[in-house]
Amino acid sequence: MSGILNSSIGRKFAMALSALFLMIFLLQHFTINLLSVFSEDTFNNVSHFMGTFWLIQYVLQPVLILGVIFHFVMGFVLEIRNRNARQISYAKNNGSANSSWMSRNMIWSGLAILAFIGLHFYDFWAPEINVKYFKGDMSGLIDPDNVNSGFRYWEELHHKFVDIWRVVLYCIAFIFLSLHLLHGFSSAFQSTGMNNKYTKSLQGFGKAYAIIIPLGFVFIALFHHFTH
Ligand code: HEM
């Protein structure tokens, strides 16, 4: 592993692979969140399954968190190395002649997403860990002493979007996410050198993903805000 990460192309591959993994997570996360718009019951049942099934909780969740950390750390490493390399080889040119505005700002959109994840964990993940593992309540019920009280997941999500400031912050983050995905997708094609008859349609898919998923998240946040 360290051998792969020691070469520039190895690092870019690792970056693209971790990005692909995070995109698969984001697609399933989006699909489950979208259920909250259509059916309170379905969203509650799926959330309870995801939140209590051992494979997801104790295997996939830690892998996901490691994947997020890896992607960010590797992103910084690549950025710093690129900067150092640029000082030497691009000495005669200005930055914009060598890299697009977005590619130079990949690190900034990445930092905006990192800040969002901080807020997002504070909003959803930390309270979830608190109820389940600190208070020891795995029931998922609004009132753990009353089996008829129903699951709490949809209610909690719905109430998070009462405050307009949170909706605005989330939507700004989704715009950064879209920009990050748009550029990330095209740079992944360059670094993996993939160029065959599927490249065009995959690039089209990447563009569609980078626009539709963040827009869908905007829709979910607005839906919960305006249906109060
Ligand atoms: C309207 C948009 C979104 C909503 C309503 C939402 C909702 C949630 C909820 C309810 C959880 C808690 C799951 C749990 O631990 O029980 C969660 C966790 C999480 N969300 Fe989101 N999310 C949204 C957007 C995003 C975006 C855009 C990202 C990534 C850029 C993201 C990344 C995560 C991560 C990494 C977790 C922790 C996963 C885990 O529990 O293991 N979310 N989200």
Span from the CA of 194 to the centroid of ligand 1 (angstroms): 31
Counting ligand 1 atoms within 8 A of each CB, the residue from 124, 134, 171 with the most, and so the one to mutate, is: 124
Flag whether pLDDT at 88 surpasses 90.
no
Q: Which atom of ligand 1 is nearest to the CA of 156?
A: 10
CA-to-CA separations, 204 to 193, 208, 214, in angstroms, rounded:
17, 6, 16
Average pLDDT over residues 6-12: 81
Q: Number of structural domains, the chain? A: 1
* pLDDT reported for residue 86: 65
**Between 93 and 23, the higher pLDDT residue:** 23
* pLDDT reported for residue 41: 98
179: Cβ below 6 Å to ligand 1?
A: no
103: Cβ below 6 Å to ligand 1?
A: no
**Between 81 and 219, the higher pLDDT residue:** 219
Q: pLDDT tens digit string along 33-51? A: 999 999 999 999 999 999 9
Counting ligand 1 atoms within 8 A of each CB, the residue from 29, 151, 167, 170 with the most, and so the one to mutate, is: 29
112: Cβ below 6 Å to ligand 1?
A: no
What residue numbers bound the domain in which 163 lies? 2-226
CATH assignment of the domain containing 120: 1.20.1300
* pLDDT reported for residue 97: 47
Q: pLDDT tens digit string along 139-192? A: 999 999 999 999 999 999 999 999 999 999 999 999 999 999 998 887 777 666
Cβ 185 vs Cβ 109: under 8 Å: no
Q: How many helices (H) and strands (E) does the chain have?
A: 12, 0
Average pLDDT over residues 46-59: 97
What H or E segment, with its residue span, contains residue 169? helix 164-192
Cβ 188 vs Cβ 118: under 8 Å: no
Cβ-based neighbours of 121, under 8 Å, separated by 6 or more: none
Average pLDDT over all residues of the chain: 89
